[in-house]
Structure 1
Amino acid sequence: MADGSRIQKTDIIGSYAAIGDSFTEGVGDPGPDGTYVGWADRFAVLLADQLPVLDGATNSDSPHGEFRYANLAVRGRLLDQIVEEQVPRAKKLAPDLVSFCAGGNDVIRPGTDPDDLAERFERAVAELTDAVGTVMVTTGFDTRGVPVLRHMRGKIATYNVHLRAIADRYHCPVLDLWSLRSIQDRRAWDNDRLHLSAEGHTRVALRAAQVLGLETPADPDQPWPPQAQRNTYEVRRDNIQWAREYLVPWIGRRLRGESSGDEVAAKRPDLLPL
């Protein structure tokens, strides 16, 4: 098993599986056909680009074989659902790399104990590290700029401290979203203010590549271009529209015990060529 805390640029990652919820599924980053792309898909492309290819050969002719990618993430999933549905599948696929992002939908719910949540997360990490090459642990966002989640910031920070400690114990690389300052910008977020935009997902993919020591085509923390300030009327109008289109339906689903992913299946359940 690779020691994930000391991945080198020369290490070959020929297969990758992503597990998680809407963030890893790619919600907020729709492709041309309507299917969500997201940071994990974009990260998979960066991984595939790093595979050595013989002169004049295609990727499939590489001595390391064709890069393969699976995305098991489903929007709305809680940690226990991810552990039950996705972790066994990831273990069976046994890729070189698994990204594990889970617990976000749990920690924002009232009454959730981040200490207990972290214990369950650690059990899953122990399972995965026994079966796959490397597990990359993903922390939660800094929600200071997310209106509906701002009051959860301390709870998310507590959970993140646990995730970093778990990563240390199991020698896992850490995709630290809290420290990625560029996604604090409003333009990094989708109109629903709960999921990243296409540019936000792109910056996370670039940071993930940096974590593994890969060369990246751009800096994920590069400054955003200047933007005109909005007046109070524009801000109030946007807030009212956002509440009507996104916040009210979101609260309604919570009250009815429904999830946005109730009828959704994983978009890439198998390790397939990219």
Structure 2
Amino acid sequence: MHRWNALVAIGDSFTEGLDDPALDGDGFRGWADRLAERLAVGRPEFRYANLAVRGKLLQQIVDEQVPEAIALRPDLVTFCAGGNDILRPGSDPDALAALFDDAVARMRAAGSDVVICTGFDTKQIPVMKHLRGKVATYNTHLWATADRHGCRVVDLWSMTVLHDPRAWGDDRLHLSPEGHERVALRACDALGVEVESRWDDPWPPAPPVDWVSLRREDLRWAKEHFVPWIGRRLRGESSGDGVRAKRPKLTPVA
């Protein structure tokens, strides 16, 4: 049995849970919800809040969500952020890491255990392969932060199981339900929580590739997801504009 009584998750769309539909059909579930569900097994008093909002940059998360998380006084926080910044041209992974480290220090000083996530290895992700060096630099800093402040680490970079296309949603930028499940299991592993299956279990055999259909799917993806994403960046808009945290208060896990 683990020792934590309350979990607060902060971050962006990854922690909000995009593309993992909620069980009731309203909003998203995601790896953090799945982690909380497991931490609550046999612990009816366990409470959970999720402050993450899609599209948020690291500075916004530090300014808005970190103080809220500290005010809730949880004994466990998951803090995964910086991916949206890395996607922006000219972003500096060294400066981002310094901002991240300072936020971790504040939450640790407030008495919370902190779980952080490294960035994904983008080698297999379309249009993001060229960011691999920036992600690797940022990850090196995150490991140093974990060592400095005694954080648990969910190492997404080493999760080669996520290189399978079935781990990703329709937009190819967010995890599928099964992808979120794998990350939740990896988080349990990092926390020493026993689970019913392993995060690195092999995928079932994939069906043969239909290259004509794949090409057609690539064109559809570009039209429906990539071009609108570029448009939002050019207009200075965010997918999180007007979106509020889905679970702003610590409440029991249903």
TM-score (norm: length of structure 2):
0.97
| Deviation for aligned residue 1:45 | 0.6
Q: What are the equivalent positions in structure 2 for 1:106-117 lying under 5 Å apart?
A: 106-117=85-96
Structure 1: runs of 5 or more not aligned: 1-9, 52-58, 60-65
Helix, strand or coil for the counterpart of 2:124?
A: coil
Which stretch of the first structure deviates more once superposed, 125-134 or 237-246? 125-134
The residue that corresponds to 1:16 in the other structure is: 7
In 1, Cα distance between the equivalents of 2:99 and 2:140? 15
Q: Does 1:39 align with 2:11?
A: no
| Deviation for aligned residue 1:120 | 0.8
Task: Note if contact 1:19-1:87 (Cα within 8 Å) is conserved in structure 2.
Answer: yes
| Deviation for aligned residue 1:133 | 2.4
1:191 aligned residue (167, 170, 189): 170
Task: Note if contact 1:27-1:36 (Cα within 8 Å) is conserved in structure 2.
Answer: yes
In 2, Cα distance between the equivalents of 1:170 and 1:50? 30
| Deviation for aligned residue 1:232 | 2.5
What is the identity, as a one-letter code, of the residue corresponding to 2:17? G
The residue that corresponds to 2:154 in the other structure is: 175
Q: Does 1:29 align with 2:29?
A: no
Helix, strand or coil for the counterpart of 1:174?
A: strand
What is the identity, as a one-letter code, of the residue corresponding to 2:103? A
Q: Does 1:222 align with 2:201?
A: yes
Q: Does 1:49 align with 2:41?
A: yes
Helix, strand or coil for the counterpart of 1:144?
A: helix
What is the identity, as a one-letter code, of the residue corresponding to 2:31? W
What is the identity, as a one-letter code, of the residue corresponding to 1:218? S
| Deviation for aligned residue 1:132 | 3.2
| Deviation for aligned residue 1:11 | 4.2
In percent, how many aligned pairs have the same letter? 58
Helix, strand or coil for the counterpart of 1:17?
A: strand
The residue that corresponds to 2:180 in the other structure is: 201
The residue that corresponds to 1:56 in the other structure is: none
Q: What are the equivalent positions in structure 2 for 1:156-167 lying under 5 Å apart?
A: 156-167=135-146
RMSD: 1.0
In 1, Cα distance between the equivalents of 2:208 and 2:132? 26
Work out which of the two has the higher radius of gyration on C-alpha atoms and give 1 or 2.
Answer: 1
Structure 2: runs of 5 or more not aligned: none
| Deviation for aligned residue 1:117 | 0.8
In 2, Cα distance between the equivalents of 1:38 and 1:263? 20
Task: Note if contact 1:30-1:37 (Cα within 8 Å) is conserved in structure 2.
Answer: yes
1:81 aligned residue (60, 65, 70): 60
Task: Note if contact 1:97-1:133 (Cα within 8 Å) is conserved in structure 2.
Answer: yes
Deviations 1:148-182 (A, max 9, x none): 21111111011001000011000111011111121
Task: Note if contact 1:98-1:132 (Cα within 8 Å) is conserved in structure 2.
Answer: no
The residue that corresponds to 1:119 in the other structure is: 98
Deviations 1:88-121 (A, max 9, x none): 0000011010000010100111001111110111
Task: Note if contact 2:36-2:48 (Cα within 8 Å) is conserved in structure 1.
Answer: yes
Deviations 1:181-200 (A, max 9, x none): 21111000001000000000
In 1, Cα distance between the equivalents of 2:111 and 2:207? 47
The residue that corresponds to 1:132 in the other structure is: 111
What is the identity, as a one-letter code, of the residue corresponding to 1:41? D
What is the identity, as a one-letter code, of the residue corresponding to 2:36? A
| Deviation for aligned residue 1:50 | 5.6
In 2, Cα distance between the equivalents of 1:168 and 1:204? 21
In 1, Cα distance between the equivalents of 2:92 and 2:49? 31
Q: Does 1:100 align with 2:73?
A: no
Number of residue equivalences: 252
Task: Note if contact 1:28-1:195 (Cα within 8 Å) is conserved in structure 2.
Answer: yes
